[in-house]
Amino acid sequence: MYSFRNDYSEGAHPKVLQALVDTDLEQTCGYGLDPYCLAAADLIRDLCAAPEADVHFLVGGTQTNLVTIAATLEPYEAVIAAQTGHVNTHETGAIECTGHKVCTAVAPDGKLTPALVEDVLAGHNGTEHMVLPRLVYISDTTEVGTIYTRKELEALRRCCDDHGLFLFLDGARLGSALTAQGNDLDLPALAALTDAFYIGGTKNGALFGEALVLTKPNAHFRWYMKQRGAILAKGRLLGVQFQALLEDGLYFDIARHANAMAIKLRDGIAAMGYPFPVVSPSNQQFPVLPNETIRKLQDMSYGFESDHPVDPDHTCIRLVTSWSTPENAVEDFLQDLSKC
């Protein structure tokens, strides 16, 4: 039975893995300064229409978040995030461990807005007795599967400009976001509207890897990476993978597939009358099911995570699809669910 537990249950897309096989015995210099990383960075700058941007390749999302935030903020500056933000909830205090407070706003759909950002600012008086909120952390897709529109991101950009804030977009699931129904953002828009964002590979076709785009380069970023153990010795593994993913659009093709599978799940489950507290157009779906039904699905060995209890008898679960989710796994799941 299939596991919808997450989008990193499998390895890499075969084409990505083949690229690693093909280049395995070549000798290159280490630490991401090799021709593959340089080429992948050039490719990303091209795709982003951001010739001045710096591109750094890191291994995982928490690592990318903590290094970027530590490299951006002064010690007395803080992050603004949605209460559901990954850096706030699921990184074991990694940001605080670098010395920075995460100030949160309640955002039921997982998305920050200028009003929410300004609420946080209003709660800080600008004196030396309080932190100075300075970096706005958002995720696209968000932790609840929603996506930002261009208009929403433009509004956040203006808000950040008005208040001297740095806008950082966690793109662990950026492939899913940029190919979701209703999306009108693309890489050039992200490069134009954020100060930093990343193209998540781990959750969309790579063995591992996040390609961080700094639209405002930081001359010492690699020092921060090294200091946090975040420079991969055989750095070219990251360049090779991102080249394979991005050179001909594979990254977006497979994300589109993941979304299609998720929408098929969503529509099928909704058709059975189960509610979805938040409408997600992306590869994470959060239906509310009776606990009894959940137990039956688990007995059939379907894998998924419980997100939160809704009432004593119902739980909101999380179903995640990926580039590798077979359509018949979705169909089987829907059929089995309909029988519960």
In DSSP notation, 231-271 reads: S-TTTHHHHHHHHHHHTTSHHHHHHHHHHHHHHHHHHHHHH
Nearer to a copy of itself, 72 or 183 (CB): 72
Measure the CA–CA gap between 308 and 108, rounded to whole angstroms.
14
Of the two residues 131 and 270, which places its CB atom closer to a copy of itself in the complex? Answer: 131
23, 179, 282, 285: residue in contact with a copy of itself (rule CB under 8 A)? 23
Q: Which stretch binds a copy of itself (CB under 8 A): 107-115, 145-153, 200-208, 289-297?
A: 200-208
Please give the DSSP secondary-structure letter assigned to residue 200.
E
Q: Is 24 in the site for a copy of itself (CB under 8 A)?
A: yes
217 binds a copy of itself (CB under 8 A): no
Bond before 141 cis per omega within 30 degrees: yes
Number of amino acids touching a copy of itself (CB under 8 A):
73
Q: Is 145 left (phi over 0), alpha (psi -120 to 50) or beta?
A: left
The distance of closest approach from Cβ of residue 266 to a copy of itself in the complex, given in angstroms and rounded to an integer, is 21
With respect to a copy of itself, which residue has the nearer C-beta, 188 or 223? 223
Instruction: Order across the sheet with 102-105: list the strands.
Output: 54-58, 210-214, 196-200, 166-170, 132-139, 77-82, 102-105
Q: Which of residues 110-169 bind a copy of itself (CB under 8 A)?
A: 128-132
Site for a copy of itself in 42-101 (CB under 8 A): 59-67, 70, 74-76, 78, 89-94, 96-97, 99-101
Helices 150-163, 114-122: crossing angle, 10 deg rounding: 30
- Residue window 306-325: x/- pattern of binding to a copy of itself, with contact defined by CB under 8 A: ------------------x-
CB of 157 to a copy of itself, least distance (A): 25
